Amino acid sequence: MIQARNLRKGEVLPPGLTDTGTPFTDEEWTWVVEHESHPVPFALIVASFCHGWLLLFRLLALAPLPPGVPLTWFLEARLQVFAEARLRGCVGFLTLLDEDRPVEAQMARIAMKLAGGTVLPGHWSMCAGPIGESK
């Protein structure tokens, strides 16, 4: 059985789940994914609340998956994460995917089929930078 729960403050994650791509991890919007056959988290879903949207920022999973963990773990975890996000006021989800990366193209197909999402085609860029003092 797959269980998605919020990251606990100060929780130590296994190597392979620590590079979240974010400067800070907001425990309220970060879910660890566990399986009854494995005693520690094997995946991490990093998200945030953005103007009513659940912004899915990053999915991380141990590779290879631990024995007994189904390849469909995200499909089960997604239902739990979306249900909790809905209770917190999210009306939908938003994520940025690169159509030139096969895994991300596959995630786009999953979003369209299973989550009822829409794909806005095109080459996308996500820009990030520090907020510093103006010079």
Q: What tokens appear for 125 in the block?
A: 């860029």
- Percent of the chain, pLDDT > 70? 93
Residues 84-110: tens digit of each pLDDT: 999 999 998 888 877 777 877 777 777
Tell the CATH topology of 2-113.
Aminopeptidase (3.40.630)
Domain boundaries, the chain: 2-113
Q: What stretch of H or E contains 85?
A: helix 73-87
pLDDT value of residue 86: 96
Rounded Cα–Cα distance for residues 26 and 8 (Å) = 10
Rounded Cα–Cα distance for residues 53 and 97 (Å) = 16
**Contact 20/46 with Cβ under 8 angstroms?**
yes
State pTM to two decimals: 0.85
